[in-house]
Amino acid sequence: MSHPISQKRLSRRTFLAATGAASAALLAACAASPGAAPAESGAGEAAPSGEAVQVRAHMVQKQDVSDWIQMGLDQDIDGFVSGNPDIEVVLETIPGWTPEYFPKILSFAAAGTLGDVVWFPPRHRSHISWGTQYDIVTDLNPLAEAAGYDMAENFYQGAITANSSDGKTYWMSYISEPIVPVIAYNKTKVEEMGIGSPSDDWTFAELSEWAQAGTTEDTFGYFRADGGRDFFSGGPYFRQYGVTAVNEDGTQVTMMDTPDEFVAALQFRYDLINTWDVSPSPSGGDLNAPELYGAQKVLAVDIWPFRIQIYPASFTDFEHDFVLTPVVNAGDTRRSMLNEHVFGITTASQATDAAFKFLTWIGGKEMNVQGLIQGQKGPIARADVWADDRVFEVIPTYEKLRPIMETIEPDFVVGNYRGDEFDQAFQQAYDQMELGEIEPAAAADQIVELCQAVLDKEPA
């Protein structure tokens, strides 16, 4: 699954301290046990005739990342293995998440043992800074040109924009999905209650009326769930109201450039809990949305795309259905925001052509169609994948998401790359509002003040 998880950026000072110690350890390990140490960066050089070029790919150990890529190799999807006998792909997986992964990659870079391909889960374009600040990844455009590979023909523009800076494309999409674009609802219980089913063309006002009709003593009508308390997972919701988080270069908070719209968006979320009482309150602690939904304690919840397959398989006591997240006014254009996992080619790689072939395979049509219909990974920002009927036969709801992906907007930029801090600042005031401790208008002012204080800090 590809839901976002908080990331901690390493400062230059932290990088030097961490990699200095790691470098010594790695070099000692090389001397003591060369067979167990990471391959030297020169291992990817062009091999003599008849020998395979090795592509070392660093990534977290994760079902929809390393596990699926290994399955693709084992299944020889799209004939990658049989068609490239001169390429040997070695997946170097790192258990854990970004707190474990980032230092490991930086230690490889410091020791001169970095491989050919690296993975990254960006938030607020953090991958651009991380990859360039530490000189980890190289521009893919010259490699694409040499291979006759057209980025624009293969990926939606929103994904290309998200992965590029100053005319250079540093990353290729692997998982690309709209952030929380649908609502899952308990179709069985809704029909039993006789309140009518939600509709794809509903407004938020219509959703609130329906939620009030569906709220009983033991069941809430609706919960924001995955469409959370920050400006990442909740980004499309605020964009739907016409609210922009920051200016183009990510240096100024612009939420109050549209004050009426921003307060109205906050007011709706406030009313769900504190006025209409149709959503559970976080006053008792963190809320487990899947648990609430699976136990039929809430009729409808906002969800990430990966739950479209997981919920029906996990909760078999009732029938599920899915509708698009509402708009503010009937007929409004749907707004969106992109969540991604990406891969890049390292500046240390001496097997760049082979590494680029590997990237275009894991980011290719068949690998991603199969990933979806086999239930192994999230979608990707490729038009040919979203046009493939095999996907819709297995996941009919994806047909509703196709128009959203065709006009997908990239995540916004936090200029000093303190994206995690930015989201935490937003959440601080937002949580107070949901708890009923402050009114939406006051929350709006506090959010802007707190988030701007983050943007005013030195680059991370």
Question: Do 370 and 331 belong together in one domain?
Answer: no
Question: Do 206 and 331 belong together in one domain?
Answer: yes
Question: Do 152 and 290 belong together in one domain?
Answer: no
Question: Do 81 and 170 belong together in one domain?
Answer: yes
**pTM for this prediction:** 0.86
Q: Where are the alpha helices (DSSP H) in 275-341?
A: 289-294, 307-314
pLDDT tens for the 460 residues of the chain, in order: 443 333 333 333 333 343 333 333 332 333 233 233 333 333 334 455 568 999 999 999 999 999 999 999 999 999 999 999 999 999 999 999 999 999 999 999 999 999 999 999 999 999 999 999 999 999 999 999 999 999 999 999 999 999 999 999 999 999 999 999 999 999 999 999 999 999 999 999 999 999 999 999 999 999 999 998 999 999 999 999 999 999 999 999 999 999 999 999 999 999 999 999 999 999 988 899 999 999 999 999 999 999 999 999 999 999 999 999 999 999 999 999 999 999 999 999 999 999 999 999 999 999 999 999 999 999 999 999 999 999 999 999 999 999 999 999 999 999 998 999 999 999 999 999 999 999 999 999 999 999 999 999 998 8
Start-to-end CA distance of the chain, whole Å, equals 28
Count the residues in the chain: 460
> What is the tally of structural domains in the chain?
2
**What is the reported pLDDT for 460?**
80
What CA–CA distance (Å, rounded) separates 90 from 179?
Answer: 31
Domain containing residue 90? 47-178+339-406
Maximum alpha-carbon separation in the chain = 74
Question: Do 296 and 235 belong together in one domain?
Answer: yes
CATH for 248: 3.40.190.10
Is the CB of residue 348 less than 8 Å from the CB of residue 224?
no
SS3 395: coil
90 within some domain: yes
**What is the reported pLDDT for 286?**
86
Nearest to 246 by CA among 434, 458, 416, 427: 416
What CA–CA distance (Å, rounded) separates 323 from 353?
Answer: 43
245 within some domain: yes
Question: Do 207 and 315 belong together in one domain?
Answer: yes
Question: Do 401 and 422 belong together in one domain?
Answer: no
Question: Do 64 and 101 belong together in one domain?
Answer: yes
Tell me how far the alpha carbon of residue 252 is from its chain's centroid: 24
**What is the reported pLDDT for 48?**
53
Question: Do 145 and 273 belong together in one domain?
Answer: no
Nearest to 113 by CA among 138, 143, 130, 92: 92
34 within some domain: no
One-letter amino acid at 359 equals L
Is the CB of residue 422 less than 8 Å from the CB of residue 451?
yes
Q: Which residues contact 65 (CB under 8 A, 6 or more apart)?
A: 59, 119, 174, 341, 377
What CA–CA distance (Å, rounded) separates 156 from 172?
Answer: 11
**What is the reported pLDDT for 49?**
55
**What is the reported pLDDT for 284?**
84
**What is the reported pLDDT for 51?**
82
Q: Is 209 exposed, middle or buried (0-12, 13-18, 19+ CB in 10 A)?
A: middle
Q: Which residues contact 98 (CB under 8 A, 6 or more apart)?
A: 5, 7, 8, 60, 121
